[in-house]
Amino acid sequence: MTISLHPSTLPAVLSPVLTPFKADGSPDAQKLLKQCKWLESNDVGQAVFGTNSEANSMSAPQKMSTLTALIEGGLNPEHMMPGTGATSIDATVNMTRHAVNHKCAGVLMLPPFYYKDVTDDGLFAYFSEVIQKVGNSALQIYIYNIPPVTKINLSLSLLERLSKEYPKTVVGMKDSSGDWAYTESVIKLLAPSGFRVYAGSEVFLMRTLRAGGVGCISATANVNPHALADLAAHWKDANADERQAELDKVRSVFAKYQMIAGMKTAVAHFSKDPEWLRVRPPLMQLTADQQAQLLSELKQINFSMPGL
């Protein structure tokens, strides 16, 4: 049984929220606020400025001003885990401090991902310096492990060292390795001390919960939030595996396309707002043919986004 040393207000499912952009490429905070409120109404928390948010296509000042607008617009910071990791320590510190000052329940922090052959000592020094410079006991870091993108493998010994050195600060992780054996090993090693492990895809939601993890932070929580949150709330029910298979079916449709552009196609369609189609270079919108094919496949599985 998991002993939680770090009580959390975050839900079991969070969405790395898609970012709507204006014609000039800047984030549209008001449109984003509306989207976040829809997710909140479906019991899904908001991991804004994650991978699916196109976070690394935005500047730190853009992300900070957008976060301020979301919270001033009435979003509950206790359900928010904004991404604050950057290759620059100063940018990471600034965004992290800003999130803590706005009382966000946690931050999702990428490791610095540019240099090759970085050591555990180097990664430990990066996170340590950020923690010390932020200098706030309210800081709750969830480390973002996404080696297919960062090319950095976060070792179990590094995670254990960080959680032992900063037990009230480094409180969990999002694991997007796609390697279940690794995810499970982190849960077995660290969850008994309260470390909160989120899978990076709902494909692993049931396995994560059964192993002692807390849930998932997943791309398709953007488009299928109610089904994900409802399964996380009822994962011990007899039909849980069948419901997991339904989630997997939806994801498999989106996975045939560039995921961000595909999900924005769905949001644009179901919200009747074509401005949602915009992505930032180097990403590109789906072609008209791809959009039609995606929407046709979604119709075949009776997919919808009620309330959007």
Specify if 139 maps to a domain.
Answer: yes
Specify if 25 maps to a domain.
Answer: yes
Name every residue whose Cβ is closer than 8 Å to that of residue 164 and which is 6 or more positions away in sequence.
none
Q: Give me the CATH number covering residue 104.
A: 3.20.20.70
Number of domain units in the chain: 1
Any known ligand binding at 3? no
Specify if 276 maps to a domain.
Answer: no
Specify if 38 maps to a domain.
Answer: yes
Name every residue whose Cβ is closer than 8 Å to that of residue 64 and which is 6 or more positions away in sequence.
94, 95, 98
pLDDT for 188-215, tens place per residue?
999 999 999 999 999 999 999 999 999 9
Does the structure show a pLDDT above 60 at 5? no
Total-model pTM: 0.96
pLDDT for 235-280, tens place per residue?
999 999 999 999 999 999 999 999 999 999 999 999 999 999 999 9
Specify if 259 maps to a domain.
Answer: no
Q: Which domain holds residue 219?
A: 13-236
> Tokens 């950057």 label which residue?
86
Specify if 222 maps to a domain.
Answer: yes
Over range 150-163, report the average pLDDT. 96
Q: Where are the beta strands (DSSP E) in 71-176?
A: 107-109, 141-145, 170-175
Q: Cite the active site residues.
A: 144, 174
7 pLDDT band (50/70/90 cuts)?
confident
CA 178, CA 232: separation in Å to the nearest integer? 19
Burial class (CB in 10 A: 0-12, 13-18, 19+), 96: buried
Specify if 99 maps to a domain.
Answer: yes
**What confidence score (pLDDT) does residue 87 get?**
95
Does the structure show a pLDDT above 70 at 6? no
Specify if 70 maps to a domain.
Answer: yes
